[in-house]
Structure 1
Amino acid sequence: MLSFEWGDIQKLAKIVTNVVNPLTGERTLKLVPYENSIQPVPLNFEPPLIEHAVGEKHGFRHHWELLTYAFSLPDPAAFPVLPELTADDRRVLKRYSQMCRQLAGYSALNEESGMYFSHKHGGEPEITLKFPSPEAFGGTSVAFRQLHSGEDSASFDRAKGRLMKAVKLLPAAEQDKATKLVAQWAKARGALINRMLQTIVCEMVAPPVPPDREVPPFSYANINPQKLILTFNYGDTIHFSEDEEANLSTLLETEQNACYYKHSVLSAITNLSHLYFGFALLAEAAMGPSV
């Protein structure tokens, strides 16, 4: 286990290869993010909306392996049909589902992205970032906001509310199971708003630290996804707030911090988007096979 801190960057990694050149004595380490060391993880169901994925490096399965490890969510397609959904309920749920299916094909969530480090002996650390174009990231942020913001009429919160209203009209014997299923998805969403998926998995899988040693920083432990998404949305991408613009400028002052926060906000949006995709299948199951 190796912790890495540089500027605001916090990463925990696992050493997978450690090779020493017998002629020069130089050591080459290959690291993987500690949260990725749990993969592969058997899935409870196929990654939701993977049929809309684009290219070979879309990462749907990668994200669902982490989500499965963290939350072990049940198959959303097995959710019961809710016959008491009104026409207006179905309108909201269909809109939520349609936006999820649209977002699932966006390039920012499908093309390879990431933050990469290298550090040669005697030199300075180097960091590179693969990040979507401003156009691709902006379009993704706008579509994502419709699912994420409680102010939008067909967001996750609104869809959940419509479902729960209909669940309460089920026979008493069926209500408990359906309520618990929705609550599982809502609880996972609440966790992902406050902490990065990578942090959650990292804390679950990292070995115990002896009492006499300092606990290393878990990956992205200093990131609050909800706050970071709002800072980007209102400081640049969707709206312009002078306060958030100032906050964003502070985050992006140095090259390494700019890479870190850009990568983190895309990761936060991607993590939540995949959860929303799963909930879209639950909403579709609730509406029945005619959807």
Structure 2
Amino acid sequence: MAKDDVQHVQAVEPRALALPQPLRFAPPYADRSPNPEGYAYWWQLFRLVFDLPNPASFAKLPGISAAELRILRRYVHTCQELSESTVLSHSSGVSINMNDGVEAVVADFPVKEAIRGTTVLFRQMASAQEPASYSQVRKIIGQIAHQHHDEHRDQRLELQRLWNRAHGQLNSRLLTAMADRRALELMGAHPNLPVPGEDVKPQEVLSLFQYGDLIHWDRHAEAFQEVANDDFQHKWETLNFLSVMTQLSHFYLGYSLLVARSVGDR
């Protein structure tokens, strides 16, 4: 190779080899997004890992009280507003470039203002303490679905079970890492092959950014500052945070279609 030649090497994640995935239903609220293709990408990962049933197939629930209806519709409204965030469809990433032996870490993230605003709205659905959060809404739907023994009971409970199970996994692991693991399984790779991101703990990442910088500057402020002092670590942890918030946000948007159907609004 000549002295001035440059060699470009690009790594491809295992999940990329398993895409595209045929979708069971259109990506929720993609029509509200400035980048619908970004929504499609995330929902292909959902299909690869979870293969969730169409939330809009949920049968309307009888016996919803006025107070419960208010909470359920608030959840749907919040999801509709969140769906317009540019953060959820942004192709965020971190790359490492080498030029004459000098390493440069380059990040492609949404603007900080957009991240902060999305984080605040996201918390209304992600925090169990919020009155119209996913946690509160799923309890309302689950209780009513169990109480009513009509011809749709089994279908309602099965949809609820599958979506709730997926939420539990999204709270404990990165969707991108789960998709990489699934893709490797499909290729017959050895199960002990390491996958980047499998060590990330979503709830710890969310708490670090929410309570160390973006929403409150309190119990994690010192820990966040330690991360911020290291440029590479800060960019990498920011990418993890955006990935966690995006995967859970898309889940909440999808579940909102189930909620809307439960009250007869779709």
TM-score where L is the length of structure 2: 0.91
2:10 counterpart SS class: strand
2:233 corresponds to 1:257: yes
Give unpaired runs (5+ residues) of structure 2: none
| Residue of structure 2 equivalent to 1:5 | none
Any idea what the Cα deviations from partners look like across 1:38-65, whole Å, max 9, x if unmatched? 1111101000111211146x61000000
Alpha carbons of structure 1 residues 105 and 123: separation in structure 2 relative to 1, 3 Å: same
Matches within 5 A, 1:10-29: 27-29=7-9
Task: Tell me, yes or no, if the aligned pair for 2:124 and 2:132 is still in contact at 8 Å.
Answer: yes
Aligned residues: 264
Q: Deviations over 1:173-221 (max 9, x none)?
A: 532321121111111111011100011111112255569xxx4531212
- Looking at secondary structure, tell me which structure has more helix per residue: 2
**C-alpha separation between the residues in 2 aligned to 1:174 and 1:268?**
33
Separation in 2 of the partners of 1:188 and 1:23?
Answer: 52
- Measure the CA separation in 1 of the matches of 2:106 and 2:81: 29
Q: 2:34 aligns with which of 44, 50, 54?
A: 54
Distance 1:208 1:72 in 2: 20
Question: What's the secondary structure of 1:28's corresponding residue?
Answer: coil
Does residue 1:232 correspond to 2:187, yes or no?
no
Q: Measure, in 1, the Cα distance between the counterparts of 2:93 and 2:4.
A: 31
Does the residue aligned with 1:177 lie in a helix, a strand or coil? helix
1:153 to 117, 122, 131: 131
Alpha-carbon displacement from aligned partner over 1:92-121 (angstroms, at most 9, x marks no partner):
11000000010010122234422223335x
Partner of 1:287: 263
- TM-aligned CA deviation for residue 223 of structure 1: 1.1
Identical positions, percent: 27
1:255: how far off? 1.6
Q: Distance in 2 between matches of 1:252 and 1:36?
A: 30
**Alpha-carbon distance change, 210 to 97 in structure 1, aligned in 2, over 3 angstroms:** closer
Supply the distance in 2 between the matched residues of 1:191 and 1:133 (Cα, whole angstroms): 28
Which residue of structure 2 aligns with residue 41 of structure 1? 21
**Equivalences for residues 1-291 of structure 1 within 5 A:** 27-55=7-35, 59-119=38-98, 123-171=101-149, 173-206=151-184, 207=187, 215-241=192-218, 243-289=219-265
Q: 1:194 aligns to what SS in structure 2?
A: coil
Q: Secondary structure of 1:126's partner?
A: strand
Per the TM alignment, residue 252 of structure 1 is displaced from its structure 2 partner at its CA by 2.8
Structure 2 Cα separation of the partners of residues 48 and 209 of structure 1: 33
Q: Give the SS at the match of 1:74.
A: coil
After superposition, what is the alpha-carbon deviation per residue over 1:148-182, rounded to whole angstroms, capped at 9, x for unaligned? 00000000011101111210222265323211211
Q: Which runs of 5+ in 1 are unaligned?
A: 1-20
CA RMSD of aligned residues (A): 2.2
**CA spacing shift, 1:26–1:237, aligned 2, 3 Å:** closer
CA distance in 1 between counterparts of 2:61 and 2:204 reads 35
Q: Choose between structure 1 and 2: higher strand proportion.
A: 1
Task: Write the distance in 2 (CA, Å) between the matches of 1:218 and 1:231.
Answer: 23
Structure 1 runs of 4+ aligned residues shifted over 4 Å read: 21-27, 207-211
Contact 1:198 1:219 in 2 (8 A): no
- Does structure 1 conserve the Cα–Cα contact (< 8 Å) formed by 2:90 and 2:109? no
State the TM-score, normalized to the length of structure 1: 0.84
Q: Does the 8 Å CA contact 1:225/1:265 hold for their aligned counterparts? A: yes
Structure 1 residues 25 and 233: CA distance shift in structure 2, 3 A: closer
Q: 1:84–1:169: 8 Å Cα contact kept in structure 2?
A: no
Distance in 1, Cα, partners of 2:124 & 2:6: 51
The residue type equivalent to 1:231 in the other structure is L
**Structure 2: how far apart are the matches of 1:24 and 1:236?**
44
**CA–CA distance in 2 between the matches of 1:127 and 1:23?**
24
* Offset, 1:37: 2.5
